[in-house]
Amino acid sequence: MEHGSEGGNTDSAQRGAPLVLHALSVADGILALCPLPGASGDYQADIEHIREWQPGLVISMTTDEEHAAVGAASLGSDLQSLGSRWIHLPVPDFSTPPPDILNRWPEASHMARKALVGGGRVLVHCRGGCGRSGMVVLRLMTECGERPDLALARLRAVRPCAIETEEQMAWAYGPRRIPGNAR
């Protein structure tokens, strides 16, 4: 399920390409991943596309330097002005969450799972919409009770580049069940 695409898995991080949200049904909601707004060269059009999709929560896995490089320094406040909650979990490209981000993961995960179970929309992005965002999306899918192998197959069916390193895969396959989560 892609939003804003005429089929195929185009890399919307390419300059001039429209932002594509690669979406999956998870729990009772929709979980999507995409490249960094502005990476296409048209930050305002990307923000407008996100506004139209209406995510209740956006998780940014990119660094402040990555935001600045594509003209997205105001990303957090721009997303919040759309009515979306915003969680910034900066992780270096091709990496897994460092200790300070690991400490924040339980709260971020709880917010995302609560939104999904309640029928909401959650958007996760990194620079290219593949590695870091794929890692987080797969982790959330398994935390919502999906079998890891089936979750990975579903994720890669909509975003073949999801999860780029063995370390990201290992992190994504972390604890499969959250106590008290019936899904």
Domains of the chain, residue spans: 14-172
What pLDDT sits at residue 8?
Answer: 36
pLDDT tens digits along 81-133:
999 999 999 999 999 999 999 999 999 999 999 999 999 999 999 999 999 99
Quick one: average pLDDT of 12-41?
Answer: 90
**Strands annotated E in 48-182:** 57-60, 85-88, 121-125
> What is the pLDDT confidence band of residue 40, given thresholds at 50, 70 and 90?
very high
Rg (CA), the chain: 15
The pair of structure tokens assigned to 37 is 């707004």
Instruction: Judge whether 58 and 78 are in contact, CB under 8 Å.
Output: no
| DSSP secondary structure, 156-170, as one string | HHH-TT---SHHHHH
d(CA 71, CA 69): 6
More confidently predicted of 8 and 77: 77
Strands 57-60, 85-88: pairing is parallel
Q: pTM of the entire structure? A: 0.89
What pLDDT sits at residue 1?
Answer: 56
Measured at the CA of 49, the angle between CA 45 and CA 51, to 5 degrees, comes to: 115
pLDDT tens digits along 134-179:
999 999 999 999 999 999 999 999 999 999 999 999 999 986 544 4
How is residue 129 annotated by DSSP?
A: S
Instruction: Judge whether 74 and 48 are in contact, CB under 8 Å.
Output: no
d(CA 52, CA 106): 29
What pLDDT sits at residue 17?
Answer: 78
What pLDDT sits at residue 175?
Answer: 63
Dihedral sign from CA coordinates of 82, 95, 102, 148: positive
Quick one: average pLDDT of 62-68?
Answer: 98
What pLDDT sits at residue 76?
Answer: 98
Instruction: Look up the CATH architecture of domain 14-172.
Output: Alpha-Beta Complex (3.90)
Q: What is the rounded average pLDDT for all residues in the chain?
A: 90
Give me the percent of the chain exceeding a pLDDT of 90.
Answer: 85
